[in-house]
Chains A and B, each alone.
Chain A
């Protein structure tokens, strides 16, 4: 599909280029066609970027079927057929990474997913007050903080000599071993995701909640519905499509959990708990130099991931919700 699309885009450019020399494009639609030429030129830098750094790199996935020899480059390296994939399927470390990825993703769906929803419902009850705006501003902020800083902050607060443990120590209580403890790693990563993105995640729910007609609440109240029943019959139906859509899309993206987050902390707890598919690719390829093998693992993830997203989108449509793309 990619190749076909690229071919077509190519011919568009050729056509655009062919019109340029005489300076007088066909006057079929007057201004429209002259405008189109200018627009095609405007498109070029951005389009060139996508062709080179996305489709060019995509073509580089050929390396997954080769043995990479630095001197020969991607094109000159010898073919090994499906050898890299066979090695990958027999590699226990690869499957450990797949299982870790799924584990962390499931934990995130169960424990992270409800938090922005709950926070949005809480914020929504504070209609149009300055308190609400202030809390929103504070809660969105961590989304813009880099993972390096987030991980460093967590170390400072939860580490051996951090805020929590020295306070516990000062009160004569037992300290807790969180940072660098493999058993605590998965809950820790979920806590980090909640801290960083739960506030930001409320935006989409708040937008859905804002669509609810106030009169519906009033009508329900007049009919004798208490707060709980108003929530159940008015609020929930309004945000259900968003919940379903987000959940389905998250399931479609289940092979991805925060790569930067895991990479930053993998060495502290070891690959047994912290290796995910993306870090596996990184350590095999970039660190280990086994590019063909690592690219095979990456391509495997890419293909399965794209199929899952596609399937998730189909399911969303089947359920009558609007998907992410049509």
Chain B
């Protein structure tokens, strides 16, 4: 094939640089602003691209045991517990549905896929959570979204891809289904488990709507606090002292934003390493 023209090459390069900048610059601005001093931010009109004298004051402010510190704890706990519980229920169900000849495998699968086509709706789900007595409990953030159909289908597809000979061999050695799952299937599925686990963790970490629906404000996770603090721009009432705080300065708002984003940035390289494979097998299978 002939060499592409230099003009085409230049246009491509410009487009690629534009894509990278469009994604990265907003993050750079929030990180820089969170590290700047309040005076510098005000002087510059609300944001800073590169702080002259970086300081961690804003972070010290919010991590000093106030609302944000508490919310951070809530988010971390819900994410950890939710991910483990979701993963356990998804793995067992996906494994059972991946084996041929399981009791009611076919109708159960249909039953589950139908929920994808027809979700129950916000009001009935809310009333159900209310009537189950789950309002204002952390379980309300986990139980109603325990198993994700997409993740289930991805895992089931992966389990089906494991060669039948391995199951046969384990059976000949006298292993039951639980044993096969634990000692054969799971060790072979580390990549798929990592993807699905990270998908769950990201979803739990990012979730705010259910918290706004089901929880009192003193139990809110970080994203919902962020919504009130930054997006709606209103102050928060400290649950322990009952004092209403004034709208936070820009540096503090940006620090909250950074803290809510950093865990995603930290797990992203791992996610990135695995997901194309995991997502694609799932997407093709479904």
Contact = CB atoms under 8 A, between A and B. Distances in A.
Interface of A: 1-2, 5-6, 8-9, 12-13, 15-16, 29, 31-32, 34-40, 42-43, 45-47, 49-50, 52-61, 63, 68, 73-74, 119, 122, 125-126, 131, 134-135, 137-142, 144-149, 151-157, 159, 161-163, 166, 169-170, 195, 199, 203-204, 207, 217-218, 221, 227, 259-260, 263-264, 267, 278, 281-282, 285-286, 291, 294-295, 298-299, 301-302, 306, 309-310, 324-325
10 closest A-B pairs by beta carbon, nearest first, are A46-B93, A12-B104, A60-B124, A161-B46, A146-B206, A57-B120, A298-B121, A166-B45, A295-B123, A38-B177
A177 to B, nearest CB: 15
Contact of B122 (A2, A163, A281): A281
B122 A50 contact: no
Nearest to B113: A325
Interface of B: 1-2, 4, 12, 15-16, 19-20, 22-27, 29-30, 33, 44-47, 49, 88-90, 92-97, 99, 101-104, 107-108, 110-115, 117-128, 131, 143-144, 146-147, 152, 171, 176-178, 181, 202, 205-209, 213, 223-224, 226-227, 230-232, 254, 257, 260-261, 264-265, 268, 271-272, 276, 279-280, 283-284, 286
Nearest to A135: B16
Nearest to A300: B121
B228 to A, nearest CB: 10
Contact of B102 (A36, A73, A259, A295): A36
B121 A47 contact: no
A293 to B, nearest CB: 9
B123 A63 contact: yes
A74 B46 CA distance: 50
Contact residues of A: prevailing secondary structure: helix
B232 A221 contact: no
A12 B24 contact: no
A61 B107 contact: no
Which among B92, B181, B207, B257 has the greatest number of chain A C-beta atoms within 10 A?
A: B92
Nearest to B33: A156
A282 B122 contact: yes
Given A54-B115, A294-B122, 16 more contacts: A9-B104, A16-B103, A40-B102, A42-B178, A60-B123, A61-B121, A138-B19, A144-B268, A148-B224, A152-B226, A157-B26, A163-B26, A264-B227, A267-B232, A294-B123, A310-B117
A146 B223 CA distance: 8
A305 B121 CA distance: 12
B111 A50 contact: yes
B121 A119 contact: no
B120 A61 contact: yes
B222 to A, nearest CB: 9
B131 A73 contact: yes
A278 B19 CA distance: 32
A171 B280 CA distance: 47
Nearest to B94: A46
A142 B231 contact: no
Contacts of A137: 272
16 contacts: A12-B107, A32-B101, A35-B176, A55-B120, A122-B12, A145-B206, A147-B206, A149-B223, A154-B26, A155-B231, A157-B26, A163-B25, A163-B47, A166-B45, A204-B283, A294-B122
Contacts of B115: 50, 54-55, 58
Contacts of A267: 232
A152 B223 CA distance: 11
A104 B29 CA distance: 29
